[in-house]
């Protein structure tokens, strides 16, 4: 059975990483807006800034691995996922729009095995 949507490997991984990246990007802005001086440049420093940077890198790696897994689950090379990752949003859209090679191959195999065998002619 062909996996589609969020049931495909890497889909939930990419969705979770993208959601957490948005939260991590909006968090410091929200913290700065809640301060009376609105010092958005000085909100995070020291250990919180380091933790936020490490979390951002970890989320980026998680998103990257999700790209590789999603591309390979559609039957494409992981190299395609690697190169599409670098074009970010257009690459994500292209990855979603690529046809599923594994489903096409499974359909061809099913078609070949379900066809009637040729009649044998004895001489």
Which pLDDT belongs to residue 95? 81
Which pLDDT belongs to residue 67? 85
- Ordered DSSP codes for 95-118: HHHS--HHHHHHHHHHHHHHSPPP
Which pLDDT belongs to residue 104? 63
- The answer to which of 13-17, 49-53, 116-120 has the lowest mean pLDDT is 116-120
Spell out the domain ranges in the chain: 5-114
As a whole number, mean pLDDT of residues 94-121 equals 66
Task: Measure the CA dihedral 75/78/80/83, to 10°.
Answer: 160
């Amino acid at each position: 059975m062909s996996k589609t949507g969020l049931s495909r490997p890497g889909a939930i991984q990419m969705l979770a990483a993208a959601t957490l990246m948005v939260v991590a990007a909006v968090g410091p802005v929200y913290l700065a807006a809640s301060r009376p001086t609105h010092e958005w440049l000085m909100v995070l420093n020291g250990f919180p800034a380091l933790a936020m940077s490490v979390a951002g890198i970890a989320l980026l790696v998680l998103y990257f691995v999700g790209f590789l897994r999603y591309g390979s689950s559609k039957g494409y090379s992981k190299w395609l996922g690697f190169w599409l990752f670098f074009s970010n949003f257009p690459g994500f859209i292209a990855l979603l729009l690529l046809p599923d090679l594994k489903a096409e191959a499974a359909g061809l195999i099913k078609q070949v095995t379900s066809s009637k065998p040729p009649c044998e002619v004895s001489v």
